[in-house]
Amino acid sequence: MIGLLQRVSSASVVVDDATIGAIGAGLMVLVCAERHDSEQEADALLNKLLAYRVFADEAGKMNRSVTDTGGALLLVPQFTLAADTNSGTRPSFTPAGAPADGKRLFDYFLAQARLRHPQVECGQFGADMQVSLTNDGPVTFWLQTRPKA
């Protein structure tokens, strides 16, 4: 699975002119399931995401996680993160999980996040979403877990 996390001072998701998810300070994370991903990869990504140290400590160093700071999470499904852009000028989405698998794994990831973190908002799988954010820093990291061979 892939998670593109961005440290934000605020972020929101709008679908059909209605805000369906919004947070203040925390992490906005684009989440993508790839082919052959399972709940094991989702758990590994969530573990890393919740512990990833991207917030400043008292000395100004990135030593605090979203768990440490009590920041919010906004999880947004984003299958285009799995695009293969190695040839031509049109991306291939062959590496992405099938829509049904992607939805199942995103829903699982979201449910697990809500069990483990106090403030979790989300986007809508398969919807045409307008995502707004104020990237704090900017700070952006690509996290990826791979199935064990």
**Domain containing 10 — which CATH number?**
3.50.80.10
Considering the candidates 80, 94, 130, 134, report the single residue annotated as catalytic.
Answer: 80
- Within-domain flag for 50: yes
The tally of domains found in the chain comes to 1
Considering the candidates 6, 78, 112, 145, report the single residue annotated as catalytic.
Answer: 78
- Within-domain flag for 61: yes
pTM of the model: 0.94
Considering the candidates 79, 106, 109, 125, report the single residue annotated as catalytic.
Answer: 79
Contact 138, 6 (CB under 8 A): yes
pLDDT range class, residue 95, cuts 50, 70, 90: confident
Domain holding 23, by residue range, is: 2-144
- Within-domain flag for 149: no
Q: At CA 30, angle to CA 52 and CA 82, rounded to 5?
A: 110
Rg, the chain, Cα only: 15
- Within-domain flag for 54: yes
- Within-domain flag for 140: yes
Contact 49, 27 (CB under 8 A): yes
- Within-domain flag for 20: yes
pLDDT at position 146, please? Answer: 85
- Within-domain flag for 37: yes
In this model, does residue 142 exceed pLDDT 90? yes
Q: Let me know if 79 is a catalytic residue.
A: yes
Q: Let me know if 80 is a catalytic residue.
A: yes
- State what percent of residues in the chain have pLDDT above 70: 99
In this model, does residue 15 exceed pLDDT 70? yes
Q: Return mean pLDDT, the chain.
A: 95
